[in-house]
Amino acid sequence: MSVDQQTVRRIAKLARIAVTDDDVPHLQGELNAILAFVEQLGEVDVDGVEPMTSVTPMAMRMREDAVTDGQKTADILANAPATEDNFFLVPKVVE
């Protein structure tokens, strides 16, 4: 795949990047180099390769999935200007 100068201008417009006519040939070369590299990645044989979550093998630490209230209700409500029955009081906005 190759990018022409008109496509470079369109990409710049979509990205809202100001590009002068002098910059277009340089950007065209850079975009074509990027696309050529991506095409090379598509040719790599990855059959039998397991997906990685990290470059070093490690097991993810697991924790118990338990629902709690955070046990910080008093600390959180201490920041509110007005509370009632462990809820924030806010001004009425709809009549």
Q: Residue 45 has which token pair?
A: 């044989």
pLDDT of residue 82: 92
For residues 24 and 4, give the distance between their C-alpha atoms in angstroms, rounded to a whole number.
9
pLDDT value of residue 21: 93
pLDDT of residue 60: 79
Bin 42: left if φ > 0, else alpha if -120 < ψ < 50, else beta.
Answer: alpha
Does any domain span residue 16? yes
In a domain, 21, yes or no: yes
The verdict on residue 78 lying in a domain is no
Token pair, residue 88, equals 């924030």
Structure confidence by residue, pLDDT tens digits, 36-83: 999 998 899 989 888 887 788 778 788 888 888 778 888 889 989 999
Which residues constitute the domain of residue 21? Answer: 5-42
Interatomic CA distance for residues 92 and 95, integer angstroms:
7
0.85 cut: is pTM over it? no
Q: How many domains, in total, are found in the chain?
A: 1
Q: What is the pLDDT of residue 15?
A: 95
Pull the structure tokens for residue 6: 């008109």
Q: Are 35 and 7 in contact (CB under 8 A)?
A: no
| Mean pLDDT for the chain overall | 89
Q: Please give the single-letter amino acid code of residue 13.
A: K
